[in-house]
Amino acid sequence: MRVDILTIFPSMFIGVLGESILKIAQEKNKLRVVVTDMRDFATDRHKKVDDRPYGGGPGMVMMAGPVVQAVRAVRAAEPADPGRLLLLCPRGRVFDQPFARELAQASRLVMVAAHYEGYDERIVECLQPELVSIGDYVLTGGELPAMVVLDAVARLLPGVLGDEQSTVSESFSPGNEGLLEYPQYTRPAVFEGRAVPEVLSSGDHAKVAAWRREQARLLSARQRPDLLSAGC
Ligand code: ADE
C-alpha cells in the first residue's frame, strides 16, 4: 500500500514512521509512506497556508489553494491509482475497526491533515474527499488522527504482523464476535499471589476457547455493553 500524508507539520511524522510496526512494514515493502508539506504549494513568498475566516470569528482557516494544489500534485504522481482521499476532521465518519479493515483493502490512501480552526469549505467541494474523524473530540490538527488511521490500517496489511491470526481474534473483530478481547496472561504463573487461571494451562483447546469466549462476553458487558447490544 502507498500512503500519502499531506500536512504542514511533516516532521511530526518522523518518530512514528521510524519505529515499531510502521518501520518494519516499510522495511518489508508492504507499506510506502510519502509525507508532503502543503506549505510547498503556497503561492506567496511567506508560504502562507491560512487566513482569517470570512464573517469573523476566532482562529485561522486553511486556505483552499495550497491544499487543493497539493492533493492534485500528489495524485498526479501516480495517475493510474489516485487512491482513496481522506480528509481528517471532527465532522467525518467515525473511524473504527471495520472502517480500518475496509481501508486496508485499498492500494493507495491520500490523507489530508487539516489544521487551525478549520479549512475552507471549497476544499471539500473541489476534491470531494471522504471526511474521517477519530472520535468525538477536537484535536489541534489532523496529524495525530492521520497517524492513528495509518497505524490501524498498516497492521492489517498482509505480511506486516508476523502472525495474521492476531488480528482475527482481537477486539472489535469478527473472530471475536465484535467484542472486546479476552484477558491475556504470560509468565510468571503467580504474580503477587495471583495465579493464572488454571484452564489456560490445561492443554484443552476447546475449554480454553470456551473460557475466552465467556471472558470476552463478561468484559464487554461490564466495559462496553453497547457492543453486546449491537448483536455482533
Ligand atoms: N482534527 C481535529 N480533531 C479531529 C478528530 N477528532 N478527528 C479527525 N481529525 C480531527
Torsion of CA 174, 180, 181, 184, to 10 degrees: 180
- Regarding whether 36 and 85 lie in a shared domain, the answer is yes
Predicted confidence (pLDDT) at residue 163 exceeds the cutoff of 80: no
Give the domain range for residue 202: 173-229
* 71-110 burial code (b ≥16 CB/10 A, e <16): beebbeeeeeeebbbbbbbbebeebebebbbebbebebbb
Same domain, yes or no, for 125 and 211?
Answer: no
CATH number of the structural domain spanning residue 213: 1.10.1270.20
Q: Is residue 160 part of a domain?
A: no
> Kind and range of the H or E element at 143?
helix 143-154
Ligand 1 atom 5 nearest Cα: 90
Same-domain check for residues 69 and 132: yes
For ligand 1, the distance from its centroid to the CA atom of residue 91, given in whole angstroms, is: 8
pLDDT band at 147 (very low <50, low <70, confident <90, very high): very high
Residue 67 lies in a domain: yes
- What was the pLDDT predicted at 191? 98
Q: Are 123 and 64 a contacting pair, CB within 8 Å? A: yes
Q: Does 209 map to a domain?
A: yes
22 and 128 assigned to the same domain: yes
Q: How far apart are CA 232 and CA 224, in angstroms?
A: 12
Nearest atom of ligand 1 to the alpha carbon of 137: 6
pLDDT score of 232? 42
Ligand 1 pocket mutation, candidates 115, 116, 137, criterion most atoms within 8 A of CB: 137
Please report whether residue 162 resides in a domain.
no
Task: For residue 165, name the pLDDT band (cuts at 50, 70, 90).
Answer: low
Number of domains in the chain: 2
Q: Is 41 exposed, middle or buried (0-12, 13-18, 19+ CB in 10 A)?
A: buried
**pLDDT tier at 122, thresholds 50, 70, 90:** very high
Residue type at position 51: D
pLDDT digit string (tens) for 89-116? 999 999 999 999 999 999 999 999 987 7
What is the amino acid identity at position 206?
A: A
Confidence bin at 231 (pLDDT 50/70/90): low
pLDDT computed for residue 166 by the predictor: 78
Q: What is the pTM of this model?
A: 0.94
| Average confidence (pLDDT) over 120-132 | 98
Q: Could you tell me if 20 and 86 lie in one domain?
A: yes
Return mean pLDDT, the chain.
95
For residues 57 and 150, membership in a common domain is answered with: yes
141 occurs within a structural domain = yes
Do residues 145 and 191 both lie within one domain? no
Domain-ending residue, one of 154, 184, 219: 154
Residue 13 lies in a domain: yes
pLDDT of 173: 87
Query: Do 28 and 98 reside in the same domain of the chain?
Result: yes
Top mutation candidate among 5, 116, 136, 139 for ligand 1, by most atoms within 8 Å of CB = 139
Last residue of a domain, one of 93, 126, 154: 154
Indicate which residue's Cα is closest to atom 2 of ligand 1: 139
- Taking only the tens place, the pLDDT of each residue in 11-39 is 999 999 999 999 999 999 999 999 999 99
